[in-house]
Amino acid sequence: MAEAVSDVRYRWNMSVEARLLVVITLALVALGLGTVYSASAIAAQQAGQSSATFFLKQLAGVMVGLVIFAIFAKVDAEQFCRWAWPLMILTIVLLTLIILPFTESIAPRLRGSRRFLIGASLQPSELGKIAVIVWTAMLVVKKGDALKGLTKGLLPFLLVVGVLDILVALEPDLSVAMTYTLIMGIILFAGGARIGHFVVLGIVAIPLLWSQFQRLNYALLRMTAFFDPGSAPPHLDYQLRQSLIAVGSGRLFGVGFGQGKQQYGFLPLAYDDFIAANIGEERGFIGLAFVVLMFALYAILGFRIARTARSTFLQLVAIGITTTVVLTAYLHIGVAIGLLPTTGLTLPFISYGRSNLVLSMLMTGILVNIGSTREKVIGGRATDPSFAMERA
């Protein structure tokens, strides 16, 4: 019998949607590597480093991301239901560690905010995205019909995710705080929460958000520069102006790989927060349209996977992951072409930054697993009559 058991194994068989999702992810990662090199080469040289410095760091992130992607594509995503609370607690601990006044040696202030641990190698706010997705999905399933209540239904979600929002706002990073809340809201809506509760909470939240915008002067100035750019001081909308110049210069087909002018220092963070502008300049309207189309296909495949998920929990996780990746991408592109205020959100799979890259690939690995079915595979002795008799 022991020999018979050894001839039986299990494997995950990817659906068509999952396979296509892998292809799209690899295409975006490949585009990202090329774009990071082009957009960062001059900045690296100006800093006295090799032109390939950022590219090599991003390539290392890709290697780690591919390993993590492969692992989580083969790990049953249902396990995350048990990991939801530990993941949320770990995120809260790391985010608290960042903002403590005596931890600047491991959480340095970069460009006016403290968002990283151990130099710039770990960004806990990125971990918070998957924590919000998994924890919210878990609690929605656990509460069931009680979700329709306000006190016992929505209040626990608001309290826990509200703690995350406060912690990242203190870094400060209002963009991520709003992202957490939006992700939670979408999963709650998909899980059956009442729309009326969202309306009431939205009315209550507006004055609170406005007071936070006034307290964080930089956020208020960004909003002012967006709604009334003509009256804004030049330094407030400098990045947006340079981004629009880059995109406009690219016209239909772009100026060509490595031929862009904005990465010479005119557009700050051309390889990170404004990498879509580099794509628009060097690859033109066609290049940006390709990126928009890839993320649209990602959304279609992600929601198709969610529709056929093995459980309600996995369905909500798939919705959360798909929404997070695609919404972040479109917000980034919207900022680059002037449709939205400057937010500082990166372009998934493409922008420089190993934390975001690894997290995006981890989430896609989970999505691929949700889109796969577990099958029993019998080894070569399956046709052996004696083996069949043993199994019987």
- 78 belongs to a structural domain: yes
- Given a cut of 70, whether residue 100 has pLDDT beyond it is yes
What average pLDDT does the chain have?
82
Q: Which residues span the domain enclosing 136?
A: 7-391
- Residue labelled with tokens 């406009």: 248
Token output for 271: 């390889």
- 42 belongs to a structural domain: yes
Token output for 158: 């608001």
Name residue 11's beta-bridge partners. 375
Q: Which residues contact 356 (CB under 8 A, 6 or more apart)?
A: 123, 126, 346, 348
Structure confidence at residue 360 (pLDDT): 94
CB 382 within 8 A of CB 6: no
- 2 belongs to a structural domain: no
Q: Rounded to an integer, what distance in angstroms lies between the CA atom of residue 131 and that of residue 348?
A: 17
CB 38 within 8 A of CB 54: no
Q: Rounded to an integer, what distance in angstroms lies between the CA atom of residue 153 and that of residue 21?
A: 34
Q: Is the peptide bond before 124 cis (omega within 30 degrees of 0)?
A: no
- 273 belongs to a structural domain: yes
pTM of the model: 0.86
Over the stretch 311-352, which tens digit does the pLDDT of each residue have?
999 999 999 999 999 999 999 998 888 877 777 788 999 998
Over the stretch 215-249, which tens digit does the pLDDT of each residue have?
555 555 555 555 555 555 555 567 778 888 888 88
Q: Rounded to an integer, what distance in angstroms lies between the CA atom of residue 275 and that of residue 329?
A: 11
Token output for 272: 């990170």
Helix, strand, or coil (residue 362):
helix
Structure confidence at residue 84 (pLDDT): 93
- 1 belongs to a structural domain: no
Structure confidence at residue 363 (pLDDT): 95
- Given a cut of 60, whether residue 213 has pLDDT beyond it is no
Q: Which of residues 92 and 260 earns the better pLDDT score? A: 92
Q: Which of residues 242 and 201 earns the better pLDDT score? A: 242
Query: CA 258, 262, 264, 265 torsion: positive or negative?
Result: negative
- Given a cut of 80, whether residue 255 has pLDDT beyond it is yes
Total domains in the fold of the chain: 1
Question: What type of residue is 17?
Answer: E
Structure confidence at residue 387 (pLDDT): 42
Tell which residue, 136, 191, 186, 160, has the closest CA to residue 325: 186
Over the stretch 109-135, which tens digit does the pLDDT of each residue have?
776 677 777 766 678 888 899 999 999
Q: Rounded to an integer, what distance in angstroms lies between the CA atom of residue 223 and that of residue 115?
A: 22
- 89 belongs to a structural domain: yes
Highest mean pLDDT among 179-183, 275-279, 301-305, 349-353: 301-305
- 310 belongs to a structural domain: yes
Q: Which residues contact 193 (CB under 8 A, 6 or more apart)?
A: 140, 147, 148, 153, 154
CB 154 within 8 A of CB 197: yes
Q: Rounded to an integer, what distance in angstroms lies between the CA atom of residue 134 and that of residue 128?
A: 10
- 206 belongs to a structural domain: yes
